[in-house]
Structure formats: C-alpha cells, structure tokens
Amino acid sequence: MIKGMTRRLIHLLRLDGYFCVMAWVLAALLFINRLNSMVKLFMALYLRQELGLAVSYTSTLAGQYDAGADVHAADLSGYPFA
C-alpha cells in the first residue's frame, strides 16, 4: 500500500509527470517571491542589531524599500502609479 502511494507521489512530482514544466516554474517563482517578506524582516533586524541603527532610521529604510518595490511593481504591470 505504501509502495503504491509512494509511486503515485513520485509520478506527480516528476517534471514529466502530472504537472507540466510551466507549473513547476510558476511554483518556483512564487516561492522566491514569498521569500521577499522574510528578507524584509531579517534586513530590519540586521540594520538594528548588527549595524546599530536607530529604530526610526531602520523603519524609514524599510519603508523606502517597500515604496520602491511598489513603484517597480506598478511599472511592470503598466498600471499608472499615483
């Protein structure tokens, strides 16, 4: 029973299995995109703890990073950013 379940799972996860290659590419890109939120958190911790920056300056830098990401996303989507 377990052998059959394992074989079916391996078939689903192979590149030429159930999902096409584009589905795997999309899943990988979504995963990388989700990592961005963790990077922001650890960037703020690094700026505060390792570099010793003030909390107000760290939050300003994090806010500018987010604003730049918003402008870049609006530029890529073609939607006018106001």
Phi, psi of 47 (to 5 degrees): -60, -40
**Are 11 and 17 within 8 A, CB to CB?**
yes
Domain membership of residue 59 (yes or no) is yes
Domain membership of residue 66 (yes or no) is yes
3-state class (DSSP) for residue 7: helix
- Structurally, the chain folds into a number of domains equal to 1
Q: Which of 7-11, 24-28, 29-33, 74-78 has the weakest average pLDDT?
A: 74-78
Domain membership of residue 36 (yes or no) is yes
Domain membership of residue 82 (yes or no) is no
Please tell me which residue, 48 or 20, carries the higher pLDDT value.
Answer: 48
Total-model pTM: 0.49
**Are 12 and 19 within 8 A, CB to CB?**
yes
Domain membership of residue 48 (yes or no) is yes
Mean pLDDT, rounded, for 33-45: 82
Please tell me which residue, 4 or 6, carries the higher pLDDT value.
Answer: 6
Question: What is the domain range of residue 49?
Answer: 2-77
